[in-house]
């Protein structure tokens, strides 16, 4: 997903001076900026101070001090001092306004999208308990285990509140739009959707939003859906159950099947396919029992076998997916029988 954001596409934003300057300093500290510029420093005696050679005048003994807590610098050699903006004015010979525009671009370059997605996921997670419609929806999909809901970090996007939350933390609307969290009109992109963060190596790489209404298709943020969902937990397992939907994944997990992973759709991307083939194992394909699900399942089984992977196709009752199977009264023992009866 990271590659999808074109950070070289710099955009100049119109900054309303005072307020935006403060937000800008939150996004990009003086010390971060200096480090970007390859300033080498060591901690000074005072805990929050750093000292190094002055970038503003030639010197051989370090006399340039940065106070990280106050976000200010002072040079005992040339006598210059001030904040980040002052430093940019002096070092780049720019006017106040030019410096502001320059820094705005710099800060957009340094924001880590993963950190923003993490903030969004946390926010959505905090909303879940506040919306009865969300909890009802989860129950309707057979998800009752609160510990599991917490572990999967399932959240809820009521719509209309993420923008305020994230811009208050200094993230620009421009950035949030580029990440797909806001739509081109500047409104929350996820509206009345249950949210599953998709993680990799413990980092949120995408968000999956399932509409609580019937008529809207599920959706992701722009960019890759990442690898197989929950892959890190099952990678070592000699047998894995592969499902196509996150609610299938969740009910199976809830029923005690922990060797389950999810491809987030019937089409596996190259990354997901590679993951399944990274060592000898048996894959139980448990896609929806409808035309397209079974067709995809057969094709995938064939492709996996050419890579030396043993496949078994789990046949649920007609018209079912693992989620509906459990929602309509199926239990772990019955599902276990289906696994045992799975066809090569
Ligand atoms: Zn100096």
What separation in Å is there between the alpha carbon of 94 and the centre of ligand 1? 18
Q: Contact, 82 vs 72, CB < 8 A?
A: yes
> Rounded to the nearest whole angstrom, what is the distance from the C-alpha of residue 111 to the centroid of ligand 1?
29
Q: Are 206 and 198 in contact (CB under 8 A)?
A: yes
Distance 60 CA to ligand 1 centre (A): 11
Distance CA 124, CA 119 (A): 9
- The per-residue pLDDT for 325 is 96
pLDDT value, residue 104: 82
Q: Is the pLDDT of residue 182 over 70?
A: yes
d(CA 167, CA 175): 10
d(CA 65, ligand 1 centre) in Å:
9
Ligand 1 centroid–CA 75 distance in Å is 5
Lowest mean pLDDT among 112-116, 238-242, 244-248, 269-273: 112-116
How far is the C-alpha of 204 from the C-alpha of 200, rounded, in Å?
6
CA of 19 to the centre of ligand 1 (A): 29
Q: How far is the CA of 91 from the centre of ligand 1 (A)?
A: 10
Instruction: Tell me how far the alpha carbon of residue 59 lies from the centroid of ligand 1, in angstroms.
Output: 8
The CA 315 to ligand 1 mean position distance, Å, reads: 74
Confidence tier at 3 by pLDDT (50, 70, 90): very low
CA–centroid distance, residue 100 to ligand 1 (Å): 22
Least confident of 22-26, 55-59, 172-176, 226-230: 22-26
Q: Encode pLDDT of 283-327 as tens digits.
A: 999 998 877 888 899 999 999 999 999 999 999 998 899 999 999
* No. of helices (H) and no. of strands (E), the chain: 15, 13
Q: Identify the pLDDT of residue 12.
A: 35
Residue pair 20/12 in contact (Cβ under 8 Å)? The answer is no
- Give the burial class of 327: count Cβ atoms within 10 A of its Cβ; 0-12 exposed, 13-18 middle, 19 or more buried: middle
User: pTM for this structure?
Assistant: 0.71
Mean pLDDT of 315-344: 94
């Amino acid at each position: 997903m990271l590659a999808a954001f074109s950070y070289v596409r710099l955009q100049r934003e119109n900054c309303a001076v005072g307020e935006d300057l403060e937000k800008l300093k939150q996004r990009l500290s003086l010390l971060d900026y200096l480090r970007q510029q390859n300033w080498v420093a060591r901690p000074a005696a005072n805990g929050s101070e750093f000292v190094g050679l002055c970038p503003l005048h030639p010197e051989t003994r370090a006399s340039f001090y940065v106070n990280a807590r106050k976000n200010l610098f002072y040079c005992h050699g040339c006598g210059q001092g001030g904040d980040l903006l002052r430093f940019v004015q002096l070092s780049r010979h720019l006017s106040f306004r030019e410096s502001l525009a320059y820094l705005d671009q710099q800060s957009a370059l340094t924001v880590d999208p993963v950190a923003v997605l993490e903030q969004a996921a946390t926010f959505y997670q905090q909303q879940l308990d506040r919306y009865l419609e969300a909890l009802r929806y989860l129950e309707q999909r057979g998800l009752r285990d609160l510990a599991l809901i917490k572990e999967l970090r399932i959240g809820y996007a009521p719509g209309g509140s993420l923008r305020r939350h994230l811009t208050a933390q200094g993230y620009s609307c421009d950035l949030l739009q580029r990440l797909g969290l806001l739509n081109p009109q500047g409104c929350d992109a996820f509206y009345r959707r249950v949210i599953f963060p998709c993680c990799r190596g413990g980092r949120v790489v995408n968000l999956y939003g399932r509409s609580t209404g019937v008529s809207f298709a599920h959706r992701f943020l722009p960019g890759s859906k990442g690898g197989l969902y929950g892959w890190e937990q099952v990678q070592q397992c000699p047998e894995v159950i592969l499902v196509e939907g996150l609610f299938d994944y969740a009910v199976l997990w809830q029923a005690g099947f922990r060797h389950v992973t999810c491809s987030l759709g019937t089409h596996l991307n190259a990354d997901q396919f590679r993951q399944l083939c990274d060592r000898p194992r048996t894959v139980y394909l448990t896609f929806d029992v409808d035309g397209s699900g079974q067709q995809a399942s057969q094709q995938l089984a064939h492709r996996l076998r050419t890579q030396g992977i043993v496949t078994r196709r789990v046949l649920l009752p007609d018209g079912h997916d693992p989620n509906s199977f459990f929602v309509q009264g199926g239990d772990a023992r019955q599902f276990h029988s289906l696994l045992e009866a799975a066809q090569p």
